Amino acid sequence: MSVPSSTLNKETKIVRKLEKGKIIEINIDNLIHNLGVIRSRLSEGVKIFPVLKSNAYGHEITAISQHIDDFVDGWCVANLEEAEKLRKNSKKPILIMKGTLSDEEDKEAISQDFWVVIRDEQDLNSKIKKGVKNLFLKVDTGMGRLGVLPDKLKKILESIKNVNGAEQLFKGVMSHFAYSDLQDRDFVNYQFRIFSDFASKFEKVLQKKLLKTLSNSAASLSFKDAHFDFVRPGLAIYGISPFGKEKTFDLRPVLTVKTRVIAVKNIPKNWSVGYSRKFIAREEVKIAILDVGYSSGLPRSWWEKGYVYAGGKKLKIVGLISMDMMAVLIDNVNINVGDEVIILGDIDGITAYDIASSVGTIPYEILCSLGLRS
C-alpha cells in the first residue's frame, strides 16, 4: 500500500493519511477511550488482544499499533504478513488466527515467536511434526469455518495424549461466536458450553493451564462468563457497537474519511449528471465534483440516499457514483475547489451504520472498504 502522506496532530491526536483521493483521519483519543470502555466491562485480570486484521479494519495496522501498544496486552491478526508488519512496532504476543500454511511460514512463526492457530486435524499433525510451538487449538463450536468439529474432539485429545512433550507445544485453545451481536443467546450459550467443556478436558490431558479465548466485541462488552483469559474485540475498539447504533456503550468512532472538491459548476435545467442520466436537473443547480468514487470503497448504490458533509450542512449526492468521482448539490452553501468534504465520520447520517443500512450491508464492510487498504 502506498501512503504518500502521514501526519500526527499532537494536540488533538489525529493521524492523517492520504490514499487515492481519500483523506483518512484516525482519532487516537477516541481509540484509547474505546479501549477504556472495553476494559471497564471485563472481569478482573482479563487481557485485551485487539483484532487488527484487514489493515485494522481500514484504520491502518501501523498507526493503530504504534499508538495503543501501551494500552493492550497482545494482538490478533489474520495472517503471517500482518503479523510481520505488526512485529515491527510491538513486542507483545501476536496470535495469527488463520494459522500458517507453508514450511517457510512455520519457520518464520517460530523465529518471531508468533502464536499460531491450528485449523483442523491435518494442520495439527503437520505442526506437531515440525515442532511448531505456541499453538492454539481452534474448536468449531458453530461458526463452521476453521476449527475442529465437536465430534472430532475426542479423537484429537487421544492423538495429543500420544505426543511426547505435547504440553510444550500448546499455548491455548480458542473458538469464535457465530453471531457478531450475540443475537441468538441460546446458540451462543450452546457454543460457550462446548468450548468450556473441551477446554477443561484439554487442560487435563496436557496437565497444564491453557490460555482460553472466545469473546468477540459483543461478548467483551456483555458476556462476562465468556471472557476467559483474553478477549478479541475488533469492531468495538474502532468505535462501532456490535449491537447497533442505538446501543453504543459510549464507544466513539475512530475513523473519519474526507475528500477534496476538484471542480464546481452550474448545471442548467434539464441537464443530466453522471452515467445513465439518473439525475436530471429540474432547474438550474450548482454541484461540486469530489475526488473519490467506488474504486476508493464508496458503495455505488449510496448515491440514491447518500450525503456528504461540508460547510455545516449535508450535501445530497446526485447521479451515479463513478469509479473515481462523484457529484453533490451545493446550492446555498459556500464550497470551493480544494475544500475538504466529509464522506464518513461521527456525524449524524454519515456513520458506518448509516451507510451500511442504506446499501444493505454491514458496518464492517464500510470501514474496510472506505478505510486504508492493506
pLDDT at 10: 55
Q: Is there a catalytic annotation at residue 275?
A: yes
Residues 137, 170: contact at Cβ < 8 Å? yes
**Cα–Cα distance measured from residue 285 to residue 186, given in angstroms and rounded to the nearest whole number:** 55
Beta bridge partners of 313: 310
pLDDT at 7: 52
Of 187, 195, 182, 82, nearest in space to 137 by CA? 195
**Cα–Cα distance measured from residue 20 to residue 251, given in angstroms and rounded to the nearest whole number:** 28
pLDDT at 3: 35
Sign of the Cα pseudo-torsion (196, 197, 199, 203, in order): positive
Which is the CATH superfamily of the domain at 42-238?
Answer: Alanine racemase (3.20.20.10)
Backbone φ and ψ for 266, nearest 5 degrees, come out as -90, 135
Whole-model pTM?
A: 0.92
**272 Cβ contact list (under 8 Å, min separation 6):** 278, 279, 280, 281, 319
**Cα–Cα distance measured from residue 337 to residue 289, given in angstroms and rounded to the nearest whole number:** 9
Which amino acid is present at 116?
V
* The three cell numbers locating residue 77: 491478526
pLDDT at 5: 42
**Cα–Cα distance measured from residue 307 to residue 155, given in angstroms and rounded to the nearest whole number:** 56
pLDDT at 12: 60
Catalytic entry in 17, 47, 53, 212: 53
pLDDT at 139: 98
Structural domain boundaries of the chain? 42-238, 255-370
How many degrees, rounded to 5, is the angle at CA 16 between CA 86 and CA 369?
70
Instruction: Classify residue 166 as left (phi > 0), alpha (psi -120 to 50) or beta.
Output: alpha
pLDDT at 245: 85
**Cα–Cα distance measured from residue 183 to residue 195, given in angstroms and rounded to the nearest whole number:** 18
Q: Is there a catalytic annotation at residue 309?
A: no
**Cα–Cα distance measured from residue 246 to residue 237, given in angstroms and rounded to the nearest whole number:** 17
The alpha carbon of residue 117 and the mean position of all alpha carbons in its chain are separated, in whole angstroms, by 19
Catalytic entry in 154, 204, 208, 275: 275
Quote the crossing angle between the two packed helices 28-41 and 61-68, to the nearest 10°. 60
Cα-based distances in Å from 173 to 47, 59, 79, 108, 295:
15, 28, 18, 21, 39
**Cα–Cα distance measured from residue 303 to residue 343, given in angstroms and rounded to the nearest whole number:** 12
Looking at CATH, the fold of the domain delimited by 255-370 is given as Lyase, Ornithine Decarboxylase; Chain A, domain 1 (2.40.37)
pLDDT at 332: 85
- Averages of pLDDT over runs of 10 residues in the chain (374 residues) are 44 83 95 97 96 96 94 97 95 97 94 96 93 96 96 94 92 96 95 97 96 98 97 97 90 96 97 95 97 95 94 94 97 93 90 94 95 84
Please report which helix (H) or strand (E) contains residue 201, including its range: helix 185-206
